[in-house]
Amino acid sequence: MLSRLKMTPRLILIISLPLAFCLSLAAYVVIQHTSRTVAGQGENAVSMVALASADNVSAWVNARLTVIQTLARTSAFTEGNIDEIFEFVQNYGQRMGDDFEVMFFVDLEGNAYHHNGNIASRSDRNYFQQLIVQKSRTTVVSDPLYSGTTGNAIVVLAQSVFDASGRLIGLLAATVTLDTLTALIDEVSDDNASAWLIDSRGVYVVHPDASRRMKENALESPLPEYASFSRKMVDGQTGISDLVLDNQQRVIAAYYPIAGNQNWSLAVALPYEQVMAAALNLRVSLITAFSITLLVLIVIIVFVSRMIVKPVNATRYALDQIAAGDGDLTQRLNEDRQDELGDLARSFNRFVSGVQLIIKQVSDAAIQLGAAAEELAASSQVTNQQVQQQSHEVTLAATSMTQMAATVTEVAGNAAQAAHAAETCNQSVKDGEVVVKKNASEVGLLAQEVQKAVDVIMRLQDDTESIGKVLEVIRGIAEQTNLLALNAAIEAARAGEYGRGFAVVADEVRTLATRTQTSTEEIREIIEQLQNASRRAVDVMHNSYSKANVAVECAEHASHKLQDITGVILTINDMNTQIATATEEQSAVADDVSRTLVRISNSVEQLSNGSSHIASASDGLALLANDLQARVGRFKV
């Protein structure tokens, strides 16, 4: 955005915007501070008026209460004679003036003797209950009530009366009309300010609107903010608030309790606009002052910017003179200034001097360039003819190399096929060698198994011989047992009747020995047959083992022969591979030579074209040199 502006508006924006921001920020801070200060002063003024008014009300009430207290301590009351007290009240009431409306004395039974001669009962009044019945206080300022004598709205000031011995004999009271109290508070009110007084119940004692006195309760206001404000007054608090009254007027209100009274509180309010008028006026004045200051600074910035830009415009004018017309390089700026603009002028003059020197050198070089371009054009034509002849010869050589490369490629293909066939045969021989080796391995394993079987049968033959020896022992034992049984039978026969049972046992033993001998003989025959079969099996196994060894030797011989065949095939395969590789290399070389010749041919063709272009360019260069010389000649050096 700024890059599109000229220097003067750009300088104005760059300097004015931060300056305007700083001035605005300073104005905002000053205005806020002064507004708070002035507003605080206005609130303090309202608070002082409220405090003074509360003190006036308190002083006015206390002055009249002091009169009652002083009268209650006179001898007319301390002597305790009711007649004298009544007479004193009548006499004083006739000359008490406007300070009180009615004065009366109330005895312990609640009978009230008024100065005008009226006698009435006041036992139901709160001040009587507090002073006489409860004896909780000695002085009472009642909440507003209607007088039973005059019917006016009044406030009762009451004081306990004691005789000389200190015995309570009654109370002395006087009434003050609300009109008198209202007149005192109305001194504060005017067209702008307003004041009101509420009692301990929140009822309006004094209010600018007479219709609300003794009838409305401030705590019952439909405005929550105003009701909360009134609650603080009833609670005896002190403060200042910004609130809206029942008539929707925004005010600054201060409130203070009436000293020495029963939770009476006075409030004084001023319209918000009046309190803040000074702050608003000051705010307008400050904004005006800051705006004028900003405008003056902007004018100064514009003037300074033009002073800065003027030498720059002079430099631009000199450059325009150089760029337009005949290009006068003899233009120079004034170097008298000693500031940055003077430095700019001196730098500009040095730059123009350098350009002037360069233009002179370029003019001389343009003349030399024209002559060289003409010579280059002549040389290019000769070179172009030679290059075309060379291109024809290279094309013939490239054709011959292409045919040779095709022949070499065919030979390389045949060699590769032979190498592939040899490789296939070699693989088949290797497969046969693997089969033969596997067969030899299996036969060797079979021979080992046969040898193991021979060993097992030999051990079996040895075991049968051992069994035969054991049978011989068993047979001997059977014969011995038979002889022993026979001897036992003979001894049993000799024993007669006593040896009959033993004879039976001996006969059974002999029978068992005979059966054992018979079985042993049968086992011996079977073992002999087994030994004969084992010998024959051993002979057969020895023959099989020998034949297996012969088969293994044959397989190993066949494997060696296959290995020899494999070696021969590998030799043939290597030779074919070498032939194919050499042929492929020759083919690759032929292709490379052919491609090289083609590239040479292309290069020669390009060189021929380049020579033509050079010739054309040389002609163009000569024209450009002439044009350059003409253009440089426009500058005045």
What pLDDT, on the 0 to 100 scale, is given for residue 608? 67
Check if the beta carbon of residue 250 is closer than 8 Å to that of residue 257. no
Q: Which residues of 306-323 are buried (b: 16+ CB within 10 A; e: fewer)?
A: eeebebeebeeebeeebe
**Cα–Cα dist 270/254, whole Å:** 9
More confident site: 529 or 71 = 71
**Cα–Cα dist 307/335, whole Å:** 16
**Greatest mean pLDDT range, 36-40, 218-222, 336-340, 506-510:** 218-222
Name the CATH superfamily for 383-631.
Methyl-accepting chemotaxis protein (1.10.287.950)
pLDDT surpassing 70 at residue 387: no
pLDDT band at 170 (very low <50, low <70, confident <90, very high): very high
Other C-beta atoms lying within 10 Å of the C-beta of residue 462 = 12
pLDDT band at 505 (very low <50, low <70, confident <90, very high): confident
Q: Which residue has the tokens 């009274």?
A: 261
What pLDDT, on the 0 to 100 scale, is given for residue 549? 77
- 178-186 helix and 7-72 helix, angle to the nearest 10 degrees: 150
Q: What is the mean pLDDT of residues 415-424?
A: 72
User: Rounded to an integer, what is the distance from CA 526 to the centroid of its chain?
Assistant: 100
**Cα–Cα dist 264/235, whole Å:** 9
Each residue's pLDDT tens digit, 301-347 = 777 777 777 777 777 776 666 666 556 667 667 667 666 667 777 78
Other C-beta atoms lying within 10 Å of the C-beta of residue 622 = 19
From the list 3, 7, 2, 15, the residue with the least C-alpha distance to 299 is 15
pLDDT band at 171 (very low <50, low <70, confident <90, very high): very high
Q: What is the mean pLDDT of residues 173-183?
A: 82
pLDDT surpassing 90 at residue 182: no
What pLDDT, on the 0 to 100 scale, is given for residue 169? 92
Give Cα separations from 15 to 5, 22, 355, 628 (angstroms).
14, 11, 36, 47
Percent residues over pLDDT 70 in the chain: 77
What 8-state DSSP symbol labels residue 117?
A: S
Class of domain 24-280: alpha beta
Which pairs from 560-567 meet CB under 8 Å and 24+ separation?
562/429, 562/432, 562/433, 562/436, 563/433, 565/429, 566/426, 566/429, 566/430, 566/433
User: Rounded to an integer, what is the distance from CA 241 to the centroid of its chain?
Assistant: 45
pLDDT surpassing 60 at residue 79: yes
pLDDT surpassing 70 at residue 635: no
User: Rounded to an integer, what is the distance from CA 413 to the centroid of its chain?
Assistant: 70
pLDDT surpassing 90 at residue 108: yes
User: Rounded to an integer, what is the distance from CA 178 to the centroid of its chain?
Assistant: 71
Beta bridge partners, 155, equal 176
Q: Kindly give, in sequence order, each residue whose CB lies less than 8 Å from that of residue 147, ignoring residues fewer than 6 positions away.
A: 101, 102, 153, 154, 175
What pLDDT, on the 0 to 100 scale, is given for residue 415? 64
Dihedral, CA atoms, 75, 77, 78, 82, nearest 10 degrees?
Answer: 120
Where, residue-wise, is CATH 3.30.450.20 in the chain?
24-280
What is the 3 state secondary structure string of 485-509?
A: HHHHHHHHHHHHHHHHHHHHHHHHH
Single pTM value for the model = 0.42
User: Rounded to an integer, what is the distance from CA 63 to the centroid of its chain?
Assistant: 73
133-147, 245-259, 508-522, 540-554, range with the lowest pLDDT: 540-554
Where, residue-wise, is CATH 1.10.287.950 in the chain?
383-631
Q: What is the mean pLDDT of residues 509-530?
A: 80
Q: What is the mean pLDDT of residues 457-480?
A: 77
Q: What is the DSSP string of 66-114?
A: HHHHHHHTSHHHHT--HHHHHHHHHHHHHT-TTS-SEEEEEETT-EEEE
Other C-beta atoms lying within 10 Å of the C-beta of residue 396 = 11
From the list 283, 234, 277, the residue with the least C-alpha distance to 41 is 277
